[in-house]
Amino acid sequence: MESKLHSGFFHPVLRQIQESSTSISPSNLMYPVFIIYGENKLIAALKPLVAKGLSSILLFGVINSSLKDNTASVADTVKNPVLPAIQLLKKVYPDLLIVCDVCLCGYTDHGHCGILTKDGIIDNEASLKRIAEVALGYAKFGCHVVAPSDMMDGRVKAIKDILHGAGYGSTVSVLSYAAKFASKFYGPFRDAADSAPAFGDRRQYQLPPGSKGLALRAVSRDIEEGADMIMVKPGLAYLDIANEVKRKHSEYPLFMYQVSGEYAMLIHASKAGVFSLKEAALESLTSMRRAGVDVIITYFVPSLLLEWL
């Protein structure tokens, strides 16, 4: 019999059935939030979202430039606004999953993701030690998940080792930015977090955009080192990577970060009348779910939870 397709999706309920594996619910969303020292707007901002089902949050710290140095010495002290925020969140929203981005770029005066040698190149071993110390600092203050985004070789093992040694091996998870690409879509984030490199770029430690093989090797390496969950970043330009990772490592929860540049493109295009923001944003998020992504980190969380879902 000749195959006919229209009879399979002519009705709204049939269309929902065809898309059942791409549904978006609060459990598929994680909200990225920037914490600024001295500001206390976090609890009020999250209240309506938690009431609508927000269950996880990804925290980034933003500090004054005067506190930055070449070793990110402030990152694991109370001068990092993330640390007191963790304790406040646990008190007010005890069921909220608290994830902390672990990187040095927002706390170093040079803006790179690791410790540099005198020649201005990455000192991987020194970077591992410092990144692990920062991860332990977040664990001590009560975060549930540390998420290393630095892309240093061996950082998952370094973090796992220090967490186990300090007694947090079974109570703090590691969400690895396992496949993080040297993307042009990060621009708005770097402005907001004041974390752009003071010189050079991050191509020596972030993946080349066309590198499928390297990306899969990076994911496999981080899994071997003990990562509990894995992430692909950015989003739409790397759906093929997400799909391949999920196919090869289906037993691991897969996260994808719809980064600030992607968010900005959708916002500006909608303001220019190119399309409906709601429909285009939902289409982009649905494509990530279709690729196999379990949790999407997106700045659209307030719109999704309060208006769209």
- Residue 299 counted as an annotated binding residue: yes
Q: Which run of H or E residues covers position 283?
A: helix 277-290
Contact by Cβ (8 Å): 180, 207:
yes
Out of 180, 184, 246, 248, pick the active-site residue: 180
- Residue 217 counted as an annotated binding residue: no
Over the range 117-132, which residues count as b (16 or more CB within 10 Å of their CB) and which as e?
eeeeebbeeebbebbb
Instruction: Return d(Cα 18, Cα 55) in angstroms, integer.
Output: 27
233 annotated active-site: yes
Contact by Cβ (8 Å): 36, 81:
yes
184 annotated active-site: no
- Residue 15 counted as an annotated binding residue: no
Out of 68, 157, 233, 246, pick the active-site residue: 233
Burial class (CB in 10 A: 0-12, 13-18, 19+), 52: middle
- Residue 247 counted as an annotated binding residue: no
Q: For residue 102, which amino acid is it?
A: V
List residues forming the annotated binding site for 5-aminolevulinate. Answer: 190, 202, 260, 299
From the annotation, which residues make up the binding site? 190, 202, 260, 299
Active-site positions read 180, 233
